[in-house]
Structure 1
Amino acid sequence: MSNIPHELIFDILSRLKPKDLIRYMCVSKAWYALIHNQDFIKAHGERSIKTNSTRTILLQVATCPLDFISLPFDNDEMLGTATKVGRPMITKYHLTNTVGYANGLVAICNYTDKYIALWNPSIQKLKKIPFTTHEPHAHPPSPDFRMIHNYGFGYDSTNDDYKLVAIVHFGDGEDVTLSFQVSVYSLKANSWKTIQNMPCGGFSLYSDYLMFSNGALSWLMSKLDGEDQYKILTLDLASEKYREFPIPDPVDGGDIEDYTPDLGVLGDYLCICLTLYDYRRDVWIMKGNGVTESWSLLCSIYLLGKPLLFSENGEMVLLMMERKGYNRLYWYHLEKKNFKKACRLRRRPLTATICRESLCLLLDDDPIKSSKKRKFSNE
Structure 2
Amino acid sequence: MSASEKTTLPLHLHLLPQDILFEILSKLPAKSLVRLRCVSKFFSALIADHAFGVLHRSLSFKLPSRAGILMAIIPRTPLSSAPVYYTINNFSEETLQANRLDYLDADEPFPKGCLHSSSDGLICLSKPNGDVVVCNVSTGQRVSLPRFQFNSPHRTQICSLLGFDSQSKRYKVLMIDRRRSIFEYKHWVLTVGVDKSWREINYSSHPFSPFDGFGCVGQSDTSVHIDGVIYFYNWLTKDDPPSFHIVAFDVGSESYSLIPIPPEVTSSSRVHCIGKTYCCSDFVFKNFALLQVDGGRLAIVYVRKRDQQFYMDVWILEKSKGCWEKITTKIPFNLRVEQSTKYRYTTNHAGEVVLLGKNNKQFIIFVCNLKSKTWRKFDIGGVKEFPICLLAEVRMYKTMDNVFFIE
TM-score by length of 1: 0.76
Q: What letter is aligned with 2:26?
A: S
What's the offset of the Cα at 1:165?
Answer: 0.5
Query: Does the residue aligned with 2:145 lie in a helix, a strand or coil?
Result: strand
Contact 2:208 2:247 in 1 (8 A): no
Contact 1:67 1:87 in 2 (8 A): no
Q: How many angstroms apart in 2 are the aligned matches of 1:33 and 1:290?
A: 39
Q: What letter is aligned with 1:330?
A: F
What's the offset of the Cα at 1:50?
Answer: 5.4
Query: Does the residue aligned with 1:190 lie in a helix, a strand or coil?
Result: coil
Query: Does the residue aligned with 2:254 lie in a helix, a strand or coil?
Result: coil
Aligned to 1:81: 97
Aligned to 1:6: 16
Query: Does the residue aligned with 1:82 lie in a helix, a strand or coil?
Result: strand
Q: How many angstroms apart in 2 are the aligned matches of 1:244 and 1:201?
A: 11
Q: How many angstroms apart in 2 are the aligned matches of 1:91 and 1:28?
A: 31
Of 200, 203, 212, 2:206 maps to 200
Q: What letter is aligned with 2:114?
A: N
Q: What letter is aligned with 1:189?
A: V
Cα distance change on mapping 1:83 and 1:179 into 2, 3 Å? same
Of 146, 151, 164, 1:155 maps to 164
Aligned to 1:307: 345
Of 105, 112, 128, 2:122 maps to 105
Aligned to 1:266: 292
Q: What letter is aligned with 1:110?
A: K
Q: How does 1:1-379 map to 2 (within 5 A)?
A: 1-4=10-13, 5-7=15-17, 8-25=20-37, 27-28=39-40, 30-49=42-61, 54-63=66-75, 64=80, 65-73=82-90, 81-88=97-104, 90-91=107-108, 94-111=111-128, 113-135=129-151, 145-171=154-180, 176-177=181-182, 179-191=184-196, 192-200=198-206, 205-206=211-212, 207-208=217-218, 209=220, 210-220=223-233, 221-223=235-237, 229-250=243-264, 255-256=268-269, 257-258=280-281, 260-261=283-284, 262-267=288-293, 268-274=296-302, 276=304, 280=310, 282-289=312-319, 293-299=323-329, 301=331, 303=335, 305-309=343-347, 312=350, 317-324=353-360, 326-332=362-368, 334=370, 339-344=375-380, 346=383, 347=386, 350-361=394-405, 364=407
Q: What letter is aligned with 1:60?
A: A
Cα distance change on mapping 1:109 and 1:219 into 2, 3 Å? same
Report the RMSD for the aligned CA atoms in angstroms: 3.6
Q: Which stretch shifts more, 346-355 or 185-194?
A: 346-355
Aligned to 2:275: none
Query: Does the residue aligned with 1:49 lie in a helix, a strand or coil?
Result: helix
What's the offset of the Cα at 1:154?
Answer: 0.9
Contact 1:258 1:277 in 2 (8 A): no
Query: Does the residue aligned with 2:156 lie in a helix, a strand or coil?
Result: strand
Contact 1:155 1:162 in 2 (8 A): yes
What's the offset of the Cα at 1:358?
Answer: 1.5
Query: Does the residue aligned with 2:138 lie in a helix, a strand or coil?
Result: coil
Query: Does the residue aligned with 1:114 lie in a helix, a strand or coil?
Result: coil
Query: Does the residue aligned with 1:132 lie in a helix, a strand or coil?
Result: coil
Cα distance change on mapping 1:151 and 1:277 into 2, 3 Å? farther
Contact 1:204 1:223 in 2 (8 A): no
Cα distance change on mapping 1:223 and 1:235 into 2, 3 Å? same
Aligned to 1:368: none
What's the offset of the Cα at 1:198?
Answer: 4.0
What's the offset of the Cα at 1:183?
Answer: 0.7
Cα distance change on mapping 1:333 and 1:33 into 2, 3 Å? closer
Contact 1:97 1:108 in 2 (8 A): yes
**Could you give the per-residue CA deviations for residues 106-151 of structure 1, whole angstroms, max 9, x where no partner exists?**
112233x531111112222100113433545xxxx5xxx4432122
What's the offset of the Cα at 1:13?
Answer: 1.5
Q: Which stretch shifts more, 13-22 or 282-291?
A: 282-291
Q: How many angstroms apart in 2 are the aligned matches of 1:42 and 1:234?
A: 23
Cα distance change on mapping 1:169 and 1:277 into 2, 3 Å? farther
Cα distance change on mapping 1:235 and 1:92 into 2, 3 Å? closer
Query: Does the residue aligned with 2:101 lie in a helix, a strand or coil?
Result: strand
Cα distance change on mapping 1:105 and 1:238 into 2, 3 Å? same
Q: How many angstroms apart in 2 are the aligned matches of 1:290 and 1:166?
A: 30
Contact 2:95 2:380 in 1 (8 A): no
Q: Which stretch shifts more, 336-345 or 213-222?
A: 336-345
Q: How many angstroms apart in 2 are the aligned matches of 1:230 and 1:169?
A: 19
Query: Does the residue aligned with 2:43 lie in a helix, a strand or coil?
Result: helix
Cα distance change on mapping 1:11 and 1:324 into 2, 3 Å? same
Q: Which stretch shifts more, 177-186 or 262-271?
A: 262-271
What's the offset of the Cα at 1:335?
Answer: 6.9
Q: What letter is aligned with 1:308?
A: T
Contact 2:190 2:199 in 1 (8 A): yes
Q: How many angstroms apart in 2 are the aligned matches of 1:2 and 1:92?
A: 44
Determine which structure has the larger strand proportion and give its number: 1
Cα distance change on mapping 1:215 and 1:25 into 2, 3 Å? closer
Cα distance change on mapping 1:25 and 1:95 into 2, 3 Å? same
Cα distance change on mapping 1:72 and 1:203 into 2, 3 Å? closer
Query: Does the residue aligned with 1:147 lie in a helix, a strand or coil?
Result: coil
**Could you give the per-residue CA deviations for residues 256-307 of structure 1, whole angstroms, max 9, x where no partner exists?**
4346133321332333234557985643243223998324335354736533
Q: What letter is aligned with 1:49?
A: F
Q: How many angstroms apart in 2 are the aligned matches of 1:53 and 1:311?
A: 10
What's the offset of the Cα at 1:59?
Answer: 1.1
Q: What letter is aligned with 1:351?
A: R
**Could you give the per-residue CA deviations for residues 49-96 of structure 1, whole angstroms, max 9, x where no partner exists?**
3556510211112254432112112x5566753222224355567334
